[in-house]
Structure 1
Amino acid sequence: MRRDQIEDDGVLTLFDMEPQASGEPGGAGQPTPLMTGIDICRTEDGLAAIKKPSTELVIWQRDFPKRFQDWLDRLDAATLPDFRILVEPRDLRRAIDPLLDACDMPACDMRDLLVEDIDDLVRRFAETARSESVDLRLQRVDHDACWKFHCDNVEARLLTTYRGPTTEWVQMVHADRALAEQQDYEGPLERLGLHDVALFKGSCAGPNSGIVHRSPPIAGTGQTRLLLCLNQHSVSSPDPWTEI
């Protein structure tokens, strides 16, 4: 078995080929764990690949200016935002600016860059998920939140980490083992890059859908994450945002 790559419109798709027969180099009839149904893209347009039936996860690999990361890492963790809102994309900036003010996040060009990025991701997610409103969580995390391996009980979810350790996930061939062993799991583990945008299918997307993942255990390390999570409107969403 080998890993083949196809690049089309900025999207790199990794998929499994037929297994080698026993006795061939690297074969012995044993399939090599590969990334099946995972798309890697270089631009935000590539996130639309999640609409393909065969795709379970799209990762947009991207970089932010170093000065943005330096600014965010220097902030007192107490000033990092921690809120959840249900908002229409057109209202995003008006909705979150007062919330950032409330947590004393300094108003500056780097904060503007953060807001601009969240605004872009909310619009892109709403378009891709065909959702008029978006359930947005911008979380300050300094404990072992969602540390268990799991599949999200949603159709689709977007995650990106702005600060601290990033989301961990396993290839589908290792999913059952990770779910069964949990903290004892010592198999192959993937990690998103800082600022990478991951668009996951959840278990509600269809039979056998859902990428197994978890938040990295960080309790007691002194680290604080800043995580953005976007979901479609659901019964568990807060009331829609309205301007006061």
Structure 2
Amino acid sequence: MVSLAPLPVPVAMPRAVVSGTIADLALIFRPEVNLCVVHRRLPRALDGFVTQLLAGLESLEAELRLGAHEPVPPDRLLPASAQAMASVEAWLAEVDYLFGIFRDLFGAKAIGLRLRLLDKAMCPRFHVDNVPVRLVCTYGGLGTEWLPEAAVNRERLGHRSGGLPDHASGLMLDPDAVRRLPAGAIALLKGEKWPGNQGRGAVHRSPAPTPERPRRLLLTLDLR
């Protein structure tokens, strides 16, 4: 089990790690790293299931709290119509895979899982999460947007924006620096409750849908 014991407050500016190697997710334990992103190509069967799901369901929102070694129950994750879709086994294997990564990496005793089908920006303004760490993965649509530390004015986060949108609040020091997670990428976002990370959480927001990509499937995992 990996401990989340308090660490000395890091001096280095928070930074992101972008990789194509799953093992590099462990770099989230470095004090200066607040975001780990692993790019990957999804299997064709999994892409096919996601395409069916986005076309066949009007809505989907599942929220589960599971023991670390408890199997993810299909009937609590998907409606019956989705469980009958072709290649559903590929989707269930994907969820088990991410669940296992998150459990083993953090030695979690319990994990919160949320699965949502979205057609609008859930959190449209840049923000940080009030959690230790969160796994995020988007399927079939636009991925989460994030800002490198050099492009963020943290004094304008949250209520300190004065109610102004991101482009007008002064939060974005460089609007051209906005990055987006590609579909299928696994991301670990360190939050404000990670020991020693207060004031250094990964700054991110939900993407605005486009006519070409109006919907997306979002899976998140949290420590519970």
Deviates more, 1:215-224 or 1:195-204: 215-224
Matching residue's letter, 2:189: F
Matched, 1:162 2:139: yes
- Equivalent residue number for residue 225 of structure 1: 216
User: How far, CA to CA, are the matches of 1:139 and 1:175 in structure 2?
Assistant: 28
Instruction: Please list, as runs of the form range in 1=range in 2, the aligned pairs for 1:48-67 lying within 5 A after superposition.
Output: 48-67=26-45
Which of 212-221 and 194-203 deviates more? 212-221
TM-score by length of 2: 0.78
Alignment gaps of 5+ in structure 2:
1-12
Q: Could you tell me which residue of structure 2 aligns to residue 194 of structure 1?
A: 183
- TM-score computed with the length of structure 1 as normaliser: 0.72
Would you say 1:122 and 2:96 are equivalent positions? no
Distance 1:140 1:41 in 2: 27
Where does residue 210 of structure 1 map in the other structure? 201
Are residues 112 and 183 of structure 1, via their aligned partners in 2, closer, same or farther at CA, if it must alter by over 3 Å?
farther
Match of 2:166 among 179, 182, 188: 182
The number of aligned residues is 198
Q: 5 Å matches for 1:120-159?
A: 120-159=97-136
Deviations 1:219-242 (A, max 9, x none): 887711100011111xxxxxxxxx
**Quick one: distance in 2 between partners of 1:145 and 1:219?**
14
CA distance in 2, matches of 1:212, 1:70: 31
- The 1:80/1:44 distance shift into structure 2, 3 A limit, reads farther
For 2:80 and 2:147, the matched residues in 1 are separated by 35
Identity %: 26
Q: CA deviation at 1:44?
A: 2.1
- Opposite residue 127 of structure 2, the aligned amino acid is H
Q: In terms of Rg, which structure is larger?
A: 1
Question: Which fold has the larger relative contact order, with Cα–Cα distance below 8 Å and residues 6 or more apart in sequence?
Answer: 2
- Name the SS of the counterpart of 1:153 in structure 2: coil
The aligned counterpart of 2:9 is: none
2:64 corresponds to:
85
1:40 aligned to 2:18? yes
Counterpart AA for 1:140: L
Contact 1:77 1:224 in 2 (8 A): no
Aligned match of 1:3? none
Q: Please provide the CA RMSD for this pair.
A: 2.6
Give 1:4's aligned residue. Answer: none
Structure 1 residue 49 displacement after superposition: 1.1
Partner residue of 1:241?
A: none
Q: Which runs of 4+ in 1 moved over 4 A?
A: 219-222
Query: Does the CA contact (< 8 Å) of 2:62 and 2:78 recur in 1?
Result: no
